[in-house]
Amino acid sequence: MRQNSITIYGRPLVYGACEGYTLVSDEPISFYGGVDPSTGRIVEKGHPLKGQKISGKILIFPYGKGSTVGSYILLRLKRKGLAPSGIINLESEPIIIVGCIISQIPLMDRPSIELKDIPNNRLIKMVVSRDKAFITW
């Protein structure tokens, strides 16, 4: 790790490593109806990230919401190359966990800082293994 870097730890859920720019929301996300699976853009009316593309990003939001179909929307996004590189939640629920497992998207939750303290549009590295999960920038 380089000098002056910041490392944030969390609970490991779906193993993997990735790198990407952060896309941070203080609002939950529904992948079924809230994300267009054809474009990888947030389309939920009134959502603070409406219009933002999630592909290749480290998507950071409190928790998922909505239908269990959301897990399959994540898989569809992954197959089209439109999925986020990784996901960080305050508390992950089954829809997001299953979606990340079947799509092989690294997932961690319970970060050691508040989501609002993670900078938006910052290039970070995310590593999730059996023993630990962390992001660094």
Q: Which residues are catalytic?
A: 67
Q: What is the pairing mode between strands 133-136 and 7-14?
A: antiparallel
Instruction: Round to whole Å and give the CA distance between 86 and 2.
Output: 22
Q: How many CB atoms lie within 10 A of CB 53?
A: 16
In the three-class reduction of DSSP (H, G, I as helix; E, B as strand; rest coil), residue 104 is classed as: coil
Contacts of 17 (CB under 8 A, 6+ apart): 106, 125, 126, 127, 128
